[in-house]
Structure 1
Amino acid sequence: MMTIPGARRATLIDCASGLAVAAAGREDLVDQHEDAAGATDVVRAVLSSPALSATPTGDDIEEIIVSGTGGYHLLVLTGADFDGHLFVHLLVDRENGNLALARLQMHRLVQEITDGRHDR
């Protein structure tokens, strides 16, 4: 994940506990545990809000993008069911990164993670 152009930090997060499973990248930005807790709060807020659904039956949220002045926070979920799944928080530098490319590569990597998990 850190080979994605502009990637500054990546954290793999357990949805149920809100804890970091793994992290890479710049530690000076935020501690991996703070990163996991804050990102989990965002995901929970989005998933629990009917106002953020585009269909009457609800959407299966795949990703959440938060734009900041210095970069993009890309939260990619591994499945529609929040409990028992993982998600990835990738921080992409605005000047050196490409959000569209990061999204494509992250979805491919998350697919590899979930495919590997089901093979066990």
Structure 2
Amino acid sequence: MANLETALKDAMSIEGAVGVAIVDYNSGLALGTLGSGKDLDLNVAAAGNTDVVRAKMRTMEMLNLHNEAIEDILITLTGQYHIIRPLTHKGSQGIFLYLALDRQRANLAMARHLMRKLEADLEV
């Protein structure tokens, strides 16, 4: 199992990665971040994407989708991809991985595959 620091470094090694955060969506606070720049404040992204995750979970509840789980949420921007992947293994519920990718350099399918592997290996 990977720890927080290792998971952040592994996520940043994904081709096109701009920034990554591991976020507690109960509080909206980032447990750890790596990367970013003048155009990407990961703490702001953590709080904002917490709202996205909570809204989707509320919607699933209202639709009675009790046997479903979110694998990932993909937001496509003109210059970036943003992937939100809730952790599902025991002891890590309430936490999600957030990865911002440069759309010109990223392979979206590979990034999603590697995020799935990170999620499976991460122990928070």
Change (3 A) 1:42 1:111: same
1:75-112 per-residue CA deviation (whole Å, 9 max, x = no partner) reads 0110289x952101100111000110000001101110
Q: What residue in structure 2 maps to residue 7 of structure 1?
A: 17
User: Percent identity of the aligned residues?
Assistant: 34
User: How many residues in Structure 1 have an aligned counterpart in Structure 2?
Assistant: 113
What amino acid does structure 1 have at the position aligned with 2:120? Q
Deviations 1:61-84 (Å, cap 9, x if unpaired)?
Answer: 121001110011100110289x95
- C-alpha spacing 1:22/1:58, structure 2 compared with 1 (3 Å): same
Q: TM-score, normalised by structure 2?
A: 0.80
TM-score by length of 1: 0.82
Runs of 4+ in 1 over 6 A off after TM superposition: none
Post-superposition CA distance 1:28-87 (Å, at most 9, x none): 12322211110101111111114996x854521121001110011100110289x95210
1:19: which partner in 2? 29
Partner of residue 110 from structure 1, selected from 104, 112, 119: 119
Give secondary structure in 2 for the equivalent of 1:48: helix
> 2:19 touches 2:33 (CA, 8 Å); kept in 1?
yes
1:49 aligns to 2:59 (yes or no): yes
Letter aligned with residue 101 of structure 1: M
Change (3 A) 1:30 1:43: same
Q: Which residue of 64, 88, 92 corresponds with 2:73?
A: 64
**Secondary structure of 2:12's partner?**
coil
Q: Structure 1, unaligned stretches of length 5 or more?
A: none
